[in-house]
Each structure stands twice: as structure tokens, then as C-alpha cells.
Amino acid sequence: MTNHWTDIKNSDCILIMGSNAAENHPISFKWVTKAQEQGAKLIHVDPRFTRTSAKADMWAGLRSGSDIAVLGGLIKYILDNELYFEEYVQNYTNASFLVNEDYAFDNGVFAGYDPKTRTYDKSSWAFQMEENGVPKQDPTMQDPNCVLQLMKKHYERYSLENASRMSGLSIDELKELYSTYAATGTGDKAGTIMYAMGWTQHTVGVQNIRAMAMVQLLLGNIGVAGGGVNALRGESNVQGSTDHCLLYHILPGYLKTPKSWQDSLAAYDKDYTPVSNDPESANWWSNYPKYSASLIKSMWLNDDPATAYNYLPRLDTGAASEYAWLTLFDKMGKGKFQGLFAWGMNPACSGANAGKNREAMANLDWLVNVNIFPNETGWFWEGPDMNPETIKTEVFFLPCAVSIEKEGSVTNSGRWMQWRYKGPEPKKGTMPDGDIMYELMKEIQHLYEKEGGAYPEPVTRLTWDAIATDGVFDAHKVAKLINGFFTKDTMVKGKTFKKGQQVPSFAYLQDDGSTCSGNWLYCNSYTDKGNMAARRDTTQTPMQANIGLFPNWSWCWPVNRRVLYNRASVDLKGQPYAKNKPVIKWDGTKWVGDVPDGGWKPGTKHAFIMRKHGYGQLFGPGRADGPLPEYYEPLECPVKEHPYSGQLHNPTAIAFAEEQKAVCDPRYPLVCSTYRVTEHWQTGVMTRNIPWLVETEPQVFCEMSRNWPSSRASTTATRLSWTACAAPSGPSPSLPQGSSPSPSTATPSIRSVCLALWLDVAQERRRLRQPADPVRR
Amino acid sequence: MTVNRRRFLKLSATAAAMTAFGGLGCQHTAPAVDRATMLKPEWTKQTTTICCYCAVGCGLIVNTSLKTKKAVNVEGDPDHPVNEGSLCAKGASIYQLAENERRPEGPLYRAPFSKEFKQVSWKWALEQIAHRVKKSRDETFAVKNDKGQTVNRTEGIASLGSAALDNEECWAFQTMLRSLGLVYIEHQARI
């Protein structure tokens, strides 16, 4: 989230699209409701009528996967009717930038496409540059190559008629949606978007979100109270786990994973350190070498960063088609891996194509499964269609402590890093995850020290004891290491720091190994002032209290800034556009309110400091699938063509040749989606084992349209109930004598707890508009 | 002065903040007190935590018996700015997550082609896993790629997880995996 939970109350119009927040993020609705009580409009766009829809002023039931038709239509509506916040667009976005004349878009494909690799050469999407190396701009935004004009041209096709045809919404509904939301395109109004996996789990997931980010930039809704682009993240620490980059393509703090051609730290830094010749662009990523050196130092404290850079593995390419989730399982199915850690995760249930994933696991030599409860992953070898006697995989199941039994921090969706304390002792026989990691890696280090092996230095030189005290994992010590400390006496910005002193903020990090920091974004979270994440002080200035900023409660990255890009909430003189709910304000000598996005005087630096040129990117020349969001159908879809182009699917989407897809296939006439209920969570490993929750929501169910022909409904219902119920009625997961039982009353073999089926979305929508009682079987 | 429950928690919040700034690494065994402890203050300790389910990040107060060291109650933290004491059904049932008979009491091992798990010791399990990791790393470690460029990576081990780990554990986990040379690292954020 660019903003945070309590900030939602400041919104004038809340769009919830691709999320059922009332059901899945129940407490978020406390703040949605507060906004509504103050007059805010709530719009819910979703294929299903849900608890969120029931609370909304407007529910728009679109067809699954048609989001960009609706959002592209909104962009066109804003541009055609000149409803954008002109001063904001002019000063804070790249609308006036001139794009390279070679840039082209033809029949659904952008210039530079290579069908063999299914990737783009993005060079023609670049901006035109002045001789002094600053992007060319047309302040009148009339040049045909300027971003605003290119957008007008690109979204010409996104008419109300086309949006209606693809989404199933009526033109009147679309007009109501567009006019209500676009009304926030003034300085004193704010609109916000709350989205979740209804947007991300698509072959156009990135562009769904891009499209809305563009809407927010056009309407001046980024950086302001009650605005922003807000992902409702689904796990207690999925924000933190992303920040610490348990992902193939990034290292902690969103640094890039090294590539094979970057044979030195200098070469690596050069590739990822953007250069701007504009003195008014803060170009914050120009600090990249300080962050990369400090990260490497934090892992290998006894080596200099240039040497230890070689200890980091390198990728051949950054392409998802080589390393990402789907590819990982595809390669596992082909026998590429000997071992797998499934740590705090249940991929046999949570991954798309669970059957393929489970079969792939049978090719492993060993599997380490760390979890609280027995689950479909550790027990895959006795799952549906599995014969244990033919499965070679050794499985180690390690039971871990639960959250209240250990100490450490988690980062919520609003980027608040919040400290947890230990309550009860871990249950007998279980261990906190941190201790398991510490002891396992100690054992591996010991083996390499004793026996040697392939390139042992990264393992043996790892300063693993930096995360423990007296041989026990120490969350405080790790938190301090993540923040970072000085590794020798150092002078920075005229201040002298002693060796061992905590680095006060990332502005003090160095590129020569004199500082370490496990994650530059978290530098400032555990300083010499203490553990900032543990703060429980609710005091605020009246200005802060007005928007519910809570700057002294816990800590928020970066540097306790609660609203990202907040310099865009004020004009070039530092005065807030929204007088009634300012985020920051220049009082003549200093900024007051939130921590500003850089402390420079107003009007001296561009507002979007993380972008090379300093502007919000309406045109995104770095995206893999195009600089402007474009409509494509999902890989499996009920239509053979759409009115936007002749390109049916996203040409850059990952596809596996052997996987058949149903496109207008009469055997698969239904769009089916899975979803959750409040009482159950993710694959249900935790909640299916909680007596109170199983009592309140005891079994899986599916919802089906009343408009189905009855014969087809009963056949499908029979087949579905068989699929959904096969697991619980089958053999119980095996456990040794004396250990606890694992099967709960509901152990679905399907991916999620619930399932919805729609035959005809438009009809369904009309039906649901009457009584607000979704049919439940 | 009547000390109602909310006031009590506020007092303790101040104490907690002082603890946080007064002594680094100091464990917070919060003196926050609820109805149960007001009746029998020697009976439990109270600690604050954050809900382990969705990423709204609601605050919780955990009551732990001083005698058994087990959780006896978990409820919403009324001073927390996000949830102001309220919880959904999942957060309200966290006590049963800890006090749950379905949790295995020790590591389990399934041998190749076996139809069952058997209980093993932590020491044995961790030693065995370390040997498997080393063997797979040594056998699949690529110093160079096909083009002859240095890549220093372990190609035969993959890792999935986890958004359920604390920040400090996530960082330690990525550090462990990357020092072992893993490149196939993914988790919930991708799906």
C-alpha cells in the first residue's frame, strides 16, 4: 500500500476491485465504514456479489478477466472529458514527456516484439532526450509524441460500447462508475483503490494494477490522504517477506539478483544505478551501490563487499520463464531438482495446477516441509492418484512454533513494521523457524568446514553467528543487523560514528563496507534510540491526528514515512491541495505533518523521487508487457475475439506447450473461480485445524447460478461435490503411533475452500441485484 | 481513582514504550492487565502481538499462564490504532492455534517408498537434512554457465516460502539460501 489502513477513512470515493475486503480483510472495513459515514462513496467491481458488494453504494458485476476493458474505458473517459487534475498531471507525471518516434503500437502488439522469445526489445519505447541529457517535454502536452497524446490515441478504442461488450456491464453502469470515481480528480477530493488477488492472478496482472495507477496519477490521487494504490496483502508478513525478497529476481530492499554478465560488484552496480542529468531529480536509486555493498557486508561481515559479491549466485536472465513459480514446478516435473524446501507454505494446495505440482514433487529426492500442522505438501505422497510405493521422495516434516510463541516483527500491508512478543513457550517438540534455520545452517557450515565441497567459501565465510546469541536465534540481533551498523569508526555528513553503532537511517549508508545493512529500506527501524517497531505511542499533532497518521506507533518503511510520494500532495510552494486533510505542509522554514519524501525545500526537487526522472509514470517504458496497459483475454476464455485488437492473449504471458488451454471450448462452458470465507485462510492448513473456525464454517461448498439449465447443474454439482469431497472421505493422512491426528472435517483437494461457478454473468448480475442473498449450496 | 481496563492498558502501553527505548533487547513481559488478571494478578502474564493471518496487522493481547507457560486467552488490543480492539473470527481464535492437539510433537521422517511417517529426533533430522543439502549442492553446483560466465549457483535445490515468517526469519532464510547458492527461490508473493 502507498497509504495505510487507518488512512482509508480519509477517502471520498473507495473503489474495491479484485478484492472482497469485507470478507477477507474484515478489519479494513472499519475504516471503509468510517469513510462512508463521512459521505464517501463505495464502489465494488467484482464478478460475484459478496459481503463487500452488500455494503457498497454501487456493485458492478464484471465478467472475470475484463478489468482492463473497464479501466481503459475509465482512462478514456477521464481524458475525453478532461477530468484529470491538470496541475498535478503537468508537474508530477510524465504526461508531457516526448516518446521516441520509433515507438509504435499495432493490432495489440507494441514495437520491438520477438515472437520466438515472446519478449520485447524496449529500446523504441524510450523518451526523447535533450542534448543535456534531460527528457524532452512539451509543456502544452499537444505534441503527437507526448505521453498524454499517445495515451489519447492508445485508448481511443476503449469506448463505453467496447467496455460494455467485454465486461457485461451496461453503458449506464459504466457511466455511473466512471463519473463517480473521476469526481475525485480535484485537489480537495481523494479516491482510493483497494485490490487483492482478483487483480494479480491474471496474465495481465501487472497491467491491471498499472492501469489503476495511471488513473490515480491522472486524478492526482497519489501521495494524498485517502488516496494511493493499495494492495490488500493476504498474509501477516507477505509485505515483509517481499521486502526481504524471498523471490528469485530480487535481493533484500528490491535490489536486483546479479546476472551472469556482471562479473564484479562494480559492473553490477553500474547496470542498476540510474543516472539523471536533471539537477531537480533526486533519482534516489543513484544510491544503489551503498545499499548493495551494505547488504553484502551484512551477510559476510569479515569480507570486503567486492570479494563477497562473488559469493552471491548469478542468474542467466531475469526472465520469469526461467526461474519463476510456474517454471520452477515445470522443471521439477522434468526432474531438474533433487531437493525442495517448502517452508511455511503449502504449494501442493496453493499453486495453480495443484495436480501437476504434486506429481512434480514425486521427482524430488528429498523434501523439507516446515509447518505448524500436517498438510497436503508434506503428505503429497499419499494424496489423490499417488502410490507411495513408487514414490522415492524422502520427506522431513519439521513442526514449528506459532506466532505467539516467539519474538520478532511483521510488516503489515500499510508497511508498518510491528513487533511481536513471546507469550507461551513453544509447544513441546516444536521449534521457532528462526532456530530451525540457525541450527540447520550451522550444521551445513560444519559439514563444509570438515569435508570441503563445491565452492565452500560462501557457506563457510557466512557470518551466521551474527544472528544468534549464545547459540540461540536472536530476533533483536537480526533486526539490528537488518537495520545495519557501522563496521568501523566512520565519519558521514560531518558526523562521527563509532564501530558497532547503529546506522541512523539509509542516508548514512556507505558503499565501501564501512556500514552493513541487511535491508536498506529497514534502515532506521532499530537505531541507537531503540526498537522503533515496538513503539506504542499514539500521540500525534493535531494535523497528524486529523488524518490518523500515528507516526509514533510502531515504525513504517521508508524512514517512518506513512504516505508514499507525499510531496505530490502539495503544490510547488509546499501548500496542500486538500486543505481539509493535508499530509505534509511547508510552514516557511520546515515541513510539518508526515515525514516528507525528501526534506528539500518545496519546488526544488521533482516529487517522485524513486523514478529516475522524478515523475510519476503514466507511460512505463520499463514494463515487460508494454508501456501502456492493453486488453487481452485470459489464456482460457469464452471468446474467440475481442474488439480491441486481433491479439487474443497477452503475447508475453508464460505458456507451456504441453498444457492445453480451453478457448471457446464447448466442453468447458463455465468461468469458475475460487475464493475464501472469513473463517478460513489460504489453503486452510491453519484454520481447518481450529475447532471454533471449523464449527462456524465446517465444510467446502460451491455457489452456482440459478440460471443454469437444471440437468447441467445437477451433473456438474455431482461432479464438483465428488472432487471437493474426495479428500476428506479418503484415507486419513498417516502419522506415527502416538502422534496427533491430522485430518480435519474439511480437507479439500481443491485449491481453496470455496468455489464459485457462473454460467452467464450478465444474467447472474441482474438476479443478484434484486435480493442480496447469494445462493449457497 | 477507578482503574478501568482501558486505562490499565494505556498505562501499560506507556510502560511498554519506555521499555522499548530504555533498554535494547529487553523482553517485554507487558504489565497490561485484563479482567482475569485483575482478579488474580499473579496468574498470567500479558504480551502484545500481531495477528498471524491477513496483512491488516491487528494488535492482540495474549494471556499466558505463569504456571503452565501456556496461552489461556488471546483478544484484540483496544489501544491498537488499526483494529481498536476488534478482531475477525480468525484473529479471535488464535489461542486455539497454539493450544492444539493436532500439532505434531517432533519432526517426522518418511523414507523412500514408505507408506508412513515415523517420529525422529530434531538432532537426527537436522543432521540428515544438512547431509542432503550438501550432497545436492555439491552435485549440482555450477561455477560457470554454458557461455563460460561465472554464475556460482546451486541448480538442484529449490525453495518455496514464506510470508508466514517474521521479518528477521525471512532475512535469515534468504541469507541461508543465497549463501548456499540457490536461485530458485519463490514464495506466496508470487502467487
Pairing of strands A555-556, A416-420: antiparallel
**What percent of chain A shows pLDDT beyond 70?**
91
Q: Report ipTM for this prediction.
A: 0.93
Q: Which chain A residues touch B45 with a CB distance below 8 Å?
A: 423
Q: How far is A373 from chain B (nearest CA, A)?
A: 5
Say what the pLDDT of residue A673 is: 83
Residues of B within 8 A of A434 (CB-CB) are: 166, 168-169, 172
Contacts of A519 in chain B (CB under 8 A): 171
For residue A625, the SS3 value is: coil
Cell 467485454, located at residue? A166
Whether the pTM exceeds 0.80: the reply is yes
Closest CA to A236 of A375, A499, A414, A68: A414
Q: How far is A752 from chain B (nearest CA, A)?
A: 13
For residue A692, what is the DSSP state? H
pLDDT surpasses 90 at B6? no
Compute the average pLDDT of residues A662-673: 82
pLDDT band at B32 (very low <50, low <70, confident <90, very high): low
Percent over 70 (pLDDT), chain B: 78
From CA A62, how far away is CA A304, in angstroms rounded? 55
Beta pairing, strands B182-186 & B150-160:
parallel
Is residue A723's pLDDT more than 50? Answer: no
pLDDT digit string, tens, across residues A462-518: 999 999 999 999 999 999 999 999 999 999 999 999 999 999 999 999 999 999 999
Mean pLDDT of chain A: 92
Contact: B58, A27; criterion CB under 8 Å: yes
Q: Is it the case that residue A92 has pLDDT exceeding 50?
A: yes
Give me the residue from B21, B53, B64 closest to A236, CB to CB.
B53
Q: CA torsion, points A7, A10, A11, A16, in degrees to nearest 10?
A: 30
Q: Report the CATH fold assignment for B35-98.
A: Phosphorylase Kinase; domain 1 (3.30.200)
Show the cell assigned to A63: 465478467
Q: Which residues of chain B neighbour A540 with C-beta distances below 8 Å?
A: none
Q: Over the stretch B148-182, which tens digit does the pLDDT of each residue have?
A: 999 999 999 999 999 999 999 999 999 999 999 99
Render pLDDT for A301-339 as a digit per residue (tens, 0 to 9).
999 999 999 999 999 999 888 999 999 999 999 999 999
Quickly tell me which residue has 475509465 as its cell. A74
What confidence score (pLDDT) does residue A638 get?
Answer: 87
The tens digit of pLDDT for each residue in A161-219 reads 999 999 999 999 999 999 999 999 999 999 999 999 999 999 999 999 999 999 999 99
Helix/strand number for chain A, H first, E second? 25, 28
Radius of gyration, alpha carbons of chain B: 23
- Asked if residue A738 has pLDDT above 50, the reply is no
Peptide bond into A673 cis (omega under 30): no
pLDDT above 60 (res A755): no
Do A409 and B168 lie within an 8 Å CB cutoff?
yes
pLDDT single digits (tens) A110-163: 999 999 999 999 999 999 999 999 999 999 999 999 999 999 999 999 999 999
Q: What is the mean pLDDT of chain B?
A: 85
pLDDT above 80: residue B94: yes
Rounded Cα distance between A489 and A492, Å, is 10
pLDDT higher than threshold 50 for residue A747: no
| pLDDT recorded at residue A587 | 97
Greatest Cα pair distance in chain B? 78
Where do you find CATH 3.30.200.210 in chain B?
Answer: 35-98
The neighbouring-strand residues paired with A420 are A408
Greatest Cα pair distance, chain A, in angstroms, is 80
Q: How far apart are CA A389 and CA A381, in angstroms?
A: 9
Concatenated DSSP letters for chain B?
Answer: ----HHHHHHHHHHHHHHHHHHSTT---------HHHHHSTTSEEEEEEE-SSSTT--EEEEEEETTT--EEEEEE-TT-TTTTT---HHHHTHHHHHS-TTS-SS-EEE-TT-SS-EE--HHHHHHHHHHHHHHHHHHHEEEE-TTS-EEEEEEEEEEE--TTS-HHHHHHHHHHHHHTTEEEEE-GGG-
Contact yes or no for B147 and A260 at CB 8 A: yes
CB spacing of A247 vs B186 below 8 angstroms: yes
Return the pLDDT at A770: 38
B10 in Cβ contact with B4 (< 8 Å): no
Which of B52, B79, B143 faces A403 most closely, judged by CB atoms? Answer: B52
Chain B residue with CA closest to A8: the answer is B82
Predicted pLDDT of residue A86: 97
CB–CB of A16/A243 below 8 Å? no
**Distance in angstroms (rounded) separating the CA atoms of residues B145 and B152:** 9
pLDDT value for A647: 98
DSSP assignment string, A144-161? TTBHHHHHHHHGGG--HH
How far apart are alpha carbons A250 and A233 in whole angstroms?
Answer: 19
Number of CB pairs, chain A paired with chain B, less than 8 A apart: 530
Closest C-alpha among A576, A574, A610 to residue A590? A574
